[in-house]
């Protein structure tokens, strides 16, 4: 029963993490008009959240390896609740930016540590299956968030979305207090925060793994960040229908993750990853054609992204646990590097996309295609070194990690 409530708590953390980014995105046009700001500044509500997240996550990762998961979770969730309160009552755009910054700092803890709780509680043989299931839950949250956010914005305006985040944050904070246990602390605490990350950065195989995972996540978030301006303002999609276009991508990923969790052991992992390479190539073709004709059809643009979304399912399920166990005593730091790299690159590419945005999909499509090309390249490099990664993964099961 305790494992059930622990799993439910982790699921709620993933729901919070998934909705924190997406829920208020449908309010972008209203916020742009209300505060009389450019598209660059409305995108800054995402970027400043990324910055807060990035400043926090490296400390979250290192301190969770040193002091345990639960204390860091409680601190992070408390900061998230404080930031949500500021967003709800923000009298100016500057206050709203500060609130989003605090939300970013706080949400780093559940975002980074939710799967680590699973990794600390379950044997390695079960972790990839749970990774698929949690990916599904996360993306159901991401898929529902723009739909829910659209209706909340329609009936309760932009403050309603931040009230929803505040209530969800309070619920997760309460569940963490009650159901997340204190785990044994690691044997060694001698390594400093900076030297720990330097050691990880010096490992070329680990950095290849991390680099691929980061690149694979970026194209979707470029689309999420730019789609409100493209779909609602440029293509004339109504606020009520917008959420369905954006949410469908996350829903496809979520359902695919649930299905893949049952078929994971039917083929060798290397074969699954080779299938992903071919799926990514199909996505380059579909996006390339849509970009070439500079489509103004929101349904066609959305459908052209589906092959890439499907292609993500296999690597995200297989490679993330493998990455964590490459250096099992530093799971928190590895997770922080993945999340930090993802958000730094997302922030950079979003600002580039915002700068070059001209009211059509074409420039957005070019940026997404460039990133997917790098995804294919790094996955091929990983497949060439696959035996080395498999050996490291199995060797990690023999290493003691915690004090008794």
Q: What is the rounded average pLDDT of the residues 78-98?
A: 94
Residue % of the chain over a pLDDT of 70: 92
CATH topology of domain 2-179+203-398: Growth Hormone; Chain: A; (1.20.1250)
Give the domain ranges of the chain. Answer: 2-179+203-398
Residues 148, 99: Cα–Cα separation, whole Å = 21
φ and ψ of 186, to 5 deg? -65, 155
- Taking 80 as the threshold, does the pLDDT of residue 396 lie above it? no
Q: Which of 112, 208, 88 lies closest to 160, judged by CA?
A: 88
Would you state the pLDDT for residue 398? 46
Measured CA to CA, the distance from residue 131 to residue 119 in angstroms comes to 10
Phi, psi of 402 (to 5 degrees): -125, 160
* pTM for the structure as a whole: 0.78
Q: Decide: 264 and 63 in contact? Cβ < 8 Å.
A: no
pLDDT in tens, 155-198: 888 888 899 999 999 999 999 999 998 876 666 555 667 888 88
Q: What is the pLDDT of residue 155?
A: 83
How many Å apart are CA 301 and CA 306, to the nearest integer? 9
């Amino acid at each position: 029963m305790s494992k059930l409530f622990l799993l439910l708590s982790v699921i709620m953390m993933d729901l919070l993490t998934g909705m924190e980014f997406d829920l208020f995105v449908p309010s972008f046009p209203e916020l742009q008009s209300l505060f009389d700001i450019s598209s660059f500044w409305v995108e800054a509500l995402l970027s400043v959240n990324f910055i807060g997240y990035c400043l926090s996550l490296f400390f979250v990762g290192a301190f969770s390896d040193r002091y345990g998961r639960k204390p860091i979770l409680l601190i992070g969730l408390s900061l998230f609740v404080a930031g949500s309160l500021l967003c709800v009552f923000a009298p100016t755009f500057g206050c709203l930016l500060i609130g989003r910054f605090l939300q970013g700092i706080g949400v780093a803890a559940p975002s980074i540590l939710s799967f680590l709780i699973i990794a600390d509680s379950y044997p390695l043989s079960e972790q990839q299956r749970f990774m698929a299931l949690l990916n599904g839950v996360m993306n159901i949250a991401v898929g529902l968030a723009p739909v829910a956010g659209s209706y909340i914005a329609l009936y309760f305006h932009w403050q309603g979305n931040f009230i929803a985040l505040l209530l969800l944050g309070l619920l997760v904070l309460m569940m963490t207090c009650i159901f997340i246990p204190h785990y044994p602390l690691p044997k060694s605490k001698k390594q400093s925060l900076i030297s720990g990350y330097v050691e990880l950065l010096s490992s070329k195989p680990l950095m290849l793994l991390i680099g691929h995972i980061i690149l694979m996540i970026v194209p979707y978030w470029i689309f999420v960040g730019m789609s409100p301006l493209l779909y609602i303002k440029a293509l004339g999609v109504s606020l009520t229908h917008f959420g369905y276009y954006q949410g469908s991508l996350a829903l496809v990923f979520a359902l695919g993750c649930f299905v893949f969790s049952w078929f994971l052991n039917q083929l060798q992992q290397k074969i699954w990853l080779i299938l992903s390479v071919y799926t990514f190539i199909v996505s380059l073709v579909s996006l390339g054609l849509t970009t070439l004709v500079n489509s103004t059809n929101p349904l066609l643009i959305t459908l052209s992204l589906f092959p890439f979304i499907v292609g993500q399912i296999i690597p995200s399920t297989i490679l993330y646990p493998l990455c964590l166990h490459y250096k099992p005593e530093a799971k928190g730091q590895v997770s922080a590097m993945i999340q930090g790299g993802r958000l730094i690159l997302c922030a950079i590419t979003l600002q580039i996309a915002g700068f070059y945005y001209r009211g059509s999909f074409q420039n957005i499509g070019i940026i997404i295609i460039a990133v997917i090309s790098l995804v294919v390249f790094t996955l091929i490099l990983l497949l060439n070194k696959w035996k080395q990664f498999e050996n490291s993964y199995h060797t990690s099961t023999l290493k003691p990690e915690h004090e008794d």
